[in-house]
Amino acid sequence: MGGRPRKVVEISTGKIGKQKRLNRKIQEENIKLDRKALEAGAPAWLSDSAKEEFNRVVSEAKKINLFDNLDMAFLAIYADCYDKYVKASTKLKEYGMTIEVKGNLQPSPFFLIADKMATQIMKCSAKLGLAVTDRLKLIVPTKEEKKPNPFLEFLK
Which tens digit of pLDDT belongs to each residue from 30-76?
656 677 888 888 899 999 999 999 999 988 888 877 787 788 889 99
Q: Say if residue 92 is exposed, middle or buried (CB neighbours under 10 Å; 0-12, 13-18, 19+).
A: middle
Q: How far apart are CA 77 and CA 82, in angstroms?
A: 8
Contact 9, 28 (CB under 8 A): yes
Q: Give the predicted TM-score (pTM) of the model.
A: 0.67
Which tens digit of pLDDT belongs to each residue from 66-124?
787 788 889 999 999 999 999 999 999 999 998 888 899 898 999 999 999 999 999 98
Q: How far apart are CA 94 and CA 97, in angstroms?
A: 9
What's CA 114's distance to the chain center, in Å? 20
Residue-range domain boundaries for the chain:
36-138
